[in-house]
């Protein structure tokens, strides 16, 4: 099997720059629990890998909407009953919450936001650590907003050598 070397494209280079910048932005907030800090530098890669500044921004907005909806649905469920001790009941609440997140995302025309919304919802509901679930939710919102800003800036500032269509 022969391996071929391909030069990295500008999207790859932009992504590497954006992730590195996010890493240094989040580094001062490093928390050994992994809930806050450079762990979230990777968000810029998802947003920056889009092939235009406009698409990067749209991807970032979708991630923000999913994060907010998942976290908010989770907080509403916790507000109703924060002391769920039954795994069966927790599973049913998680399922109902995911249906609500997916429905809300579809209702506002952002179906692609639902997967991240369900992930955030799951962590908020399943993490029995109390305050940590709120820190997780808030840190996901912050890292998404910072990731959007960095990815859009990098996509805008670094040159693009692709041929116009």
- Confidence (pLDDT) at 99: 94
pLDDT at 44: 64
Q: 71 near 120, Cβ under 8 Å?
A: yes
Q: Encoding tokens for residue 35?
A: 């809930």
The tokens 């649905």 sit on which residue? 73
Residues of the chain with confidence (pLDDT) below 50: none
Q: Would the pTM count as exceeding 0.85?
A: no
């Amino acid at each position: 099997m022969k391996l071929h070397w391909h030069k990295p494209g500008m999207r790859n280079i932009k992504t590497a720059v954006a992730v590195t910048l996010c890493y240094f932005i989040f580094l001062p907030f490093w928390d050994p629990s992994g809930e806050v800090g450079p762990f979230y530098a990777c968000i810029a890669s998802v947003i920056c890998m889009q092939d235009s500044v406009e698409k990067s921004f749209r991807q970032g907005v979708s991630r923000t909407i999913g994060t907010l909806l998942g976290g908010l649905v989770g907080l509403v469920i916790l507000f109703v009953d924060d002391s769920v001790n039954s795994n069966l009941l927790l599973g049913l609440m998680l399922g109902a919450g995911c249906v609500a997140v997916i429905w809300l995302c579809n209702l506002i025309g952002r179906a692609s936001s639902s997967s991240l919304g369900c992930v955030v919802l799951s962590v908020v509901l399943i993490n029995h650590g109390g305050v940590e679930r709120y820190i997780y939710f808030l840190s996901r919102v912050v890292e998404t907003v910072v990731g959007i800003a960095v990815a859009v800036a990098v996509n805008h500032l670094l040159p693009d050598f692709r041929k116009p269509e």
